[in-house]
């Protein structure tokens, strides 16, 4: 009989994920990035900072603020993949140096997005956690390249990618020998236009069930609107996420990129206070 | 300039919702159903029970169990809209009576889905909260009909409906004179097939921002899989939902409908214990 | 192995459609509406007219124009399901009379949308082909009601409905005893916003393969933009559609509803000339 | 007022595409690949061949067959981006040589997909038209790289990409100095699972309206099912497409990749005969 549940018939046919799957690797993987451990049982890792590194001063100022509020890892894009070639593309090499310095000055490991294999050395030298962005989730040449190094990788889900494809993209990295993969959901593309993307929080239990990898949630890109970041971040913690990736800027209106979805440092501090309470309610720490 | 945020340009053009909108009605609406108040500031209302009423005995047994675990309202479908005309269509009039009795015996108001204007009298006599299902969200004849009565109405979002359309559907009910409308998200249809639908939890802050109506989350239909119901329910509470609608069955494998997404009573009790902690963390009760 | 084609695994599990399916009914069904035959082997049926009947004069004027260009059936909505309760809702009973008169005066059967069972008598008296709109595709009470009468029914696909659900909705009508069902695609809802909906033309061969029912394409709602109506209409003819449903208005800017997607009569005449050539190229007539 | 057409409000805010847009470049661009001209006014270019080059013999055999049926360009993937790292990844350098030889032997230019900047020299030496696949549509490093060479580029739309993003991806190539860009639609990802993707044929008039670039349609990936390839191909021709990209294999069941959507040479010949008639009906040749 046809039923509304017939989608689930798929399940039987979905293959094991040789390396990412639970079947061959029952224990949870913990990934360490610059001294911060991320994964099941660890405190929830909060990665915060501006969408893009804009200057040495601004990244240092924001780093101090997010550190003070309790963030463990500093984020900041320096090679920005933008829809238009005429949008701000990032400070590149210079920005990475600013990011690293701001991180060091505050005792925080740093995460930044890699968009081309050519920049790999620069990233292995300057960055603690390499982000592969949604647009490159199936850039298999890039996935294989980060699979051949030892640095931990945070792999964002493509906005048009199924969970199966996302796990298989992680499999590309793992298959090259790099076991340090973190998955990060940032919302998928749907017909709804009240938000930039639609956050699919069911991925948290699904990734936990199917894989042994840590799962991080990015409420900033998922909603695209600073007003919705806090409730979605709290929801992610309640659902069991191992980390949060949040855009924070002290002058969002003047941000070079994604200002609308960035929250101010004082709001971030409030979010952290609330997130600690929710984390405690579900038996975790931040 | 084109930006990834250009979707938000819409916002300027979106009209006020005359009756549902915050602009003309700043205070939160509390809806009372059979003595249970639902809305901002009230304890989170938990509506639980089987997808379909199957017999007098089973609905009574499940009612006792969900009541014991802390549910405030008993759910049970008796007129089932099914994709196939050959699927079980519900016990109809008989089922409504069983539901009402089970509710009365346990001191619980009851909610059930109305699918045709013809059955209105039966519903006003037997049911405390009338559910309009996702498939009928834009059945405007039915919306107007429930707008002309005084009973509270829980309006589910269509799986293919935008938030704007959903609020406008509520506006149809309000415009006929019935102010007692509760909105209920049950997931939207996307390309992802690991879940039955994709839960869009950003609706919680969006509905709170744009309207004054209570918002309830249904994690059972959103995920379609009992394993994912608890984390998504906890996420909904953390996001600020005013209520939960959860399918509970003591023998899911034998359920007449939607067994795969129904949780057992003992699991429901655990979910309630956890939900209480999360609710407390965000300043609410259950 | 997981493959990109694993979606098709579903196929094995999809049930026969008892009455709509080819398995039990290999020959194509031809539906006759007011003397016009619609289905495989017949000339392509073109249904044209305004979105809404606005006055006796305007519907008569447009009827003459579309008749002159070769349309076989006159369309015009008189009970309009609108997203907002404050939008124009149609001329109702009065409009149906105008439509019938305009059709009679030009020797054209008429099609109009039924939104409530209450109006059934009015429709059986005045309309040759009853349209069930996208929003009511799973209003099963309404489907059963039109299943109990003999009039032909054109069932639009819901913008969020799968092909399986659409065929099953037809099954509801067939199961009540009415064999005269025509399916009509009007686009589905996707993330793309350059068009109102996304036209899914693969439905033409799919419906032909799985069912014996006629399939009609509505390029007006699918695109939402008069500029794209002609190329999509020609594409539908080339794909094998049995009919077209097209919105035509002689003053689109002043139209009460959907002016942006309505084409002018002179443009409709050009479209018909081109469609005749394409029809001939694929072995059909118009 | 809110209306169902409010999506179109966007239009006003969409920026000019500096180089891809019609505004600054009113005349249609014709792209020449190995002697075959593609674009408005030219005969419809048909690119056909297997999904993947499998051996020297098979690509030669298929090349002869598609040439005999009227194809102008030979396709064959040699670097295959696959969802799983364990799927067949292509014959790589060896395959490109086989493809080139098969093309030369039959007087056909060849098209193949480039997945990494590293292979650029190999592609400029062996391939007449470089394909950028859907997964790499926003791999901006790769887009810039093909923008710096003179070879024509066929840019596929990402399955989760909006038309705006797709045109902006073309803008990346144009902005680097390569004016020879062809756009190719291969279907987008939606909730419908009866086909692999949903073909969005409205892109043909939209691309013609907004840009001056040629538009090619790939009915094989769009449908994912050989049974639906012909009607969708004919529809594309009727809609005004400048080319078709079709997978042909003489033993689909044994194909290394995508066998289900490949048509046999004899069926391809029939498709070509029908496509010629439809092309003629809309004033084009093949």
A5 vs C199: which has the higher pLDDT = C199
Write down the mean pLDDT value for chain A: 93
Alpha carbons B222 and B156: distance in angstroms, whole number: 11
Alpha carbons A111 and A171: distance in angstroms, whole number: 21
Residue of A nearest to C168 (CA): A2
Whether residue B245 contacts residue B76, with contact meaning beta carbons closer than 8 Å, is answered with no
- Residue whose entry in the numeric block shows the structure tokens 């360009």: D73
Residue of D nearest to B160 (CA): D191
Q: Does D277 lie at the interface with C, CB-CB under 8 angstroms? A: yes
Q: pLDDT tens across B242-255, in order?
A: 999 999 999 998 88
CB contact under 8 A, C199 and D200: yes
pLDDT band at A2 (very low <50, low <70, confident <90, very high): very low
Q: Does C9 lie at the interface with A, CB-CB under 8 angstroms? A: yes
Tokens representing C78 are 């008189």
CB contact under 8 A, D6 and B2: no
Predicted confidence (pLDDT) at residue A1 exceeds the cutoff of 80: no
Alpha carbons A194 and B165: distance in angstroms, whole number: 11
User: Helices D56-69 and D265-281 meet at what angle, rounded to 10?
Assistant: 30
pLDDT band at A15 (very low <50, low <70, confident <90, very high): low
Q: What is the mean pLDDT of residues A214-234?
A: 97
How many interface pairs between C and D have CB atoms less than 8 angstroms apart?
180
Across the interface, which of C1, C10, C193 has its CB nearest the CB of A9? Answer: C10
CB contact under 8 A, A138 and D141: no
Q: What is the mean pLDDT of residues B159-173?
A: 96
Write down the mean pLDDT value for chain B: 93
Please tell us whether the domain made up of A17-281 is placed in CATH 3.90.1200.10.
Answer: no
Rg of chain A on CA atoms, in Å: 18
Whether residue C38 contacts residue C31, with contact meaning beta carbons closer than 8 Å, is answered with yes
- Residue whose entry in the numeric block shows the structure tokens 């609710």: B279
At C245, is the secondary structure helix, strand, or coil? strand
- Residue whose entry in the numeric block shows the structure tokens 């069904």: C29
Q: Does C23 lie at the interface with A, CB-CB under 8 angstroms? A: no
- Residue whose entry in the numeric block shows the structure tokens 């009609």: C216
For residue A162, CA distances in Å to A89, B284, D190, D272 come to: 28, 35, 11, 35
Q: What is the pTM of this model?
A: 0.95
**CA dihedral defined by C19, C21, C23, C26, rounded to 10 degrees?**
90
Whether residue A271 contacts residue B205, with contact meaning beta carbons closer than 8 Å, is answered with no
pLDDT score for C115? 97
pLDDT score for D1? 26
Q: Does B285 lie at the interface with A, CB-CB under 8 angstroms? A: no
Contacts of A168 in chain D (CB under 8 A): 83-85
CB contact under 8 A, B9 and D13: yes
pLDDT band at C4 (very low <50, low <70, confident <90, very high): very low
**CA-based torsion, C98, C99, C100, C106: positive or negative:** positive
For chain B, give every domain's residue range: 17-281
Q: What is the mean pLDDT of residues C42-46?
A: 98
DSSP C95: H
Cβ-based neighbours of B279, under 8 Å, separated by 6 or more: B43, B44, B237, B285, B286
Residue of A81, A82, A141, A148 to mutate when probing chain D, most D C-beta within 10 A: A141
CB contact under 8 A, A138 and D140: no
Alpha carbons D225 and A54: distance in angstroms, whole number: 49
Q: What is the mean pLDDT of residues B2-19?
A: 50
Q: Does D168 lie at the interface with B, CB-CB under 8 angstroms? A: yes
Q: pLDDT tens across B108-126, in order?
A: 999 999 999 999 999 999 9
Predicted confidence (pLDDT) at residue B72 exceeds the cutoff of 50: yes
Residue D100: φ, ψ to 5°? -60, -45
Q: Which A residues 211-250 touch B at CB under 8 Å?
A: 222-225, 227-228, 231-232, 234-240
Q: Does D192 lie at the interface with C, CB-CB under 8 angstroms? A: yes
Whether residue D163 contacts residue C194, with contact meaning beta carbons closer than 8 Å, is answered with yes
Residue B217: φ, ψ to 5°? -115, 135
Alpha carbons B151 and B13: distance in angstroms, whole number: 33
Residue C37: φ, ψ to 5°? -95, 135
Q: pLDDT tens across B258-269, in order?
A: 889 999 999 999
Predicted confidence (pLDDT) at residue A6 exceeds the cutoff of 80: no
Q: Does B87 lie at the interface with D, CB-CB under 8 angstroms? A: no
Per-residue pLDDT of chain D (286 residues; tens, 9 = 90+): 233 333 333 333 455 799 999 989 999 999 999 999 999 999 999 999 999 999 999 999 999 999 999 999 999 999 999 988 998 899 999 999 999 999 999 999 999 999 999 999 999 999 999 999 999 999 999 999 999 998 999 999 999 999 999 999 999 999 999 999 999 999 999 999 899 999 999 999 999 999 999 999 999 999 999 999 999 999 999 999 999 999 999 999 888 888 899 999 999 999 999 999 999 999 999 9
DSSP D140: H
Predicted confidence (pLDDT) at residue B218 exceeds the cutoff of 90: yes
Predicted confidence (pLDDT) at residue C7 exceeds the cutoff of 70: no
Tokens representing C200 are 């899914």
pLDDT score for D15? 59
Across the interface, which of C84, C118, C172 has its CB nearest the CB of B85? Answer: C172
For residue A198, CA distances in Å to A138, A224, B150, D1, D208 come to: 20, 10, 35, 25, 31
- Residue whose entry in the numeric block shows the structure tokens 């930044």: A112
Across the interface, which of B2, B14, B190 has its CB nearest the CB of D191? Answer: B190
Tokens representing A106 are 């505050």
Q: pLDDT tens across C81-117, in order?
A: 998 899 889 999 999 999 999 999 999 999 999 999 9
**CA-based torsion, D218, D222, D228, D233: positive or negative:** negative
Cβ-based neighbours of A207, under 8 Å, separated by 6 or more: A163, A167, A183, A213, A215
Alpha carbons D180 and A72: distance in angstroms, whole number: 47
Predicted confidence (pLDDT) at residue A40 exceeds the cutoff of 80: yes
Task: Give the residue from C82, C79, C70 showing the smallest Cα distance to C97.
Answer: C79
Residue of C nearest to B172 (CA): C85
Predicted confidence (pLDDT) at residue B169 exceeds the cutoff of 90: yes
At B266, is the secondary structure helix, strand, or coil? helix
Alpha carbons D129 and D109: distance in angstroms, whole number: 8
Predicted confidence (pLDDT) at residue C13 exceeds the cutoff of 60: no
Whether residue A130 contacts residue A99, with contact meaning beta carbons closer than 8 Å, is answered with no
CB contact under 8 A, C15 and A2: yes
Task: Give the residue from B264, B275, B229, B212 showing the smallest Cα distance to B72.
Answer: B275
pLDDT score for D184? 98
Residue of B84, B196, B238 to mutate when probing chain A, most A C-beta within 10 A: B238
CB contact under 8 A, C2 and A168: yes
User: Does this complex have an ipTM over 0.90?
Assistant: yes
Q: How far is CA A158 from the centre of its chain?
A: 12
Could you tell me which chains touch chain A, where touching means 3 or more CB pairs under 8 A?
Answer: B, C, D
Alpha carbons B188 and B221: distance in angstroms, whole number: 10
């Amino acid at each position: 009989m046809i039923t509304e549940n017939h989608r689930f018939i798929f399940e039987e046919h979905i293959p094991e994920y040789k390396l990412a799957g639970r079947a061959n690797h029952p224990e949870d993987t913990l990934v360490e990035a610059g001294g911060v451990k991320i994964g099941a049982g660890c405190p929830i890792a909060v990665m915060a900072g501006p969408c893009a590194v804009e200057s040495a001063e601004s990244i240092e100022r924001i780093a101090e603020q997010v550190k003070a509020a309790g963030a463990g890892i500093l984020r900041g894009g320096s090679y920005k993949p933008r829809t238009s070639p005429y949008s701000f593309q990032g400070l590149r090499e210079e920005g990475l140096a600013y990011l690293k310095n701001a991180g060091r000055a505050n005792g925080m490991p740093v995460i930044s997005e890699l968009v081309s294999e050519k920049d790999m050395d620069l990233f292995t030298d300057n960055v603690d956690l390499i982000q592969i962005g949604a647009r490159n989730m199936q850039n298999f040449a890039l996935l294989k390249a980060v699979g051949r190094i030892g640095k931990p990788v945070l792999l964002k889900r493509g906005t048009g990618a199924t969970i199966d494809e996302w796990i298989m993209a992680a499999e590309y990295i793992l298959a090259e020998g790099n076991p340090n993969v973190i998955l990060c959901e940032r919302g998928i593309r749907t017909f709804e236009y009240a938000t930039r993307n639609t956050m699919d929080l069911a991925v948290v239990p699904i990734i936990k069930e199917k894989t042994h990898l840590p799962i991080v949630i990015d409420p900033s890109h998922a909603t695209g609107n600073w007003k919705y970041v806090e409730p979605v971040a709290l929801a992610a913690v309640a659902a069991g996420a191992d980390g949060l990736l949040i855009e924070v800027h002290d002058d969002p209106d003047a941000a070079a990129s994604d200002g609308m979805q960035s929250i101010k440092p004082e709001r971030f501090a409030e979010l952290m206070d609330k997130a600690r309470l929710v984390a405690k309610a579900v038996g975790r720490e931040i």
